[in-house]
Structure 1
Amino acid sequence: MKHQIIIRPEAENDLRESFLWYEEKRLGLGHDFLLQIEAGLKFIQRNPELTTVEYKEARKHIIKKFPYKIIYLTTVRL
């Protein structure tokens, strides 16, 4: 079952800034970064409980090839 992912505005800003920084370093690197973020989000969407707990209920997914991790919470909707 796919779960809904909600990205906070602060996280969107961080992603935008990181994309621009990587693009400045090498053309196309920002795109590669976003592809890895997208792959991480898809993994979380399908397997939210398969990652490690970072702090209390917050979980983390490590992004491949980049020094980033996605921190997220899972909630149950009734």
Structure 2
Amino acid sequence: MYKTVILPLAKEDIKSTAKWYNKQQKGLGKRFTKEVRKKVAHISKNPENIVTRYRDVKTAIVDVFPYMIHFIVDQENKTIIISAVFAMAQSPQNWNAREQD
């Protein structure tokens, strides 16, 4: 099993999305967060089974919600580094702009 590190911007993605979902329906943000945690646990057990999408960045779709977790795998340190949690409908330019920060 790999260690998981969620970068601050990814934590903010999760927090702001959960807040948005809670405005739509009470408790939905908590459900979103739970699904993200489940997917992160899956990633940490099986990172090699997930397809690389951009250069060395892999993505995994959150079950039930239309969001993708973006991460890289540091094989040497057995670490998953989560850099973003984006809505699948968001423009790829958001990822490109963020990658340059």
**Which residue matches 2:54?**
55
1:50: how far off?
A: 0.7
1:25: how far off?
A: 0.3
Q: Which structure: greater strand fraction?
A: 2
Aligned length: 77
**Which residue matches 2:7?**
8
Q: Whole-Å Cα distance in 2 between the matches of residues 57 and 11 of structure 1?
A: 17
Q: Report the RMSD for the aligned CA atoms in angstroms.
A: 1.2
Give TM-score scaled by structure 1 length.
Answer: 0.93
Q: Give, as a single letter, the amino acid of the residue that structure 2 aligns with 1:18.
A: T
**Which residue matches 1:77?**
77
1:37: how far off?
A: 0.0
1:7: how far off?
A: 0.5
Runs of 4+ in 1 over 4 A off after TM superposition: none
DSSP-derived class of the 1:74 partner: strand
- Aligned-pair identity in percent equals 26
Q: Whole-Å Cα distance in 2 between the matches of residues 36 and 53 of structure 1?
A: 21
> What are the ranges of 5 or more consecutive residues in structure 1 without an aligned counterpart?
none
Give TM-score scaled by structure 2 length.
Answer: 0.73
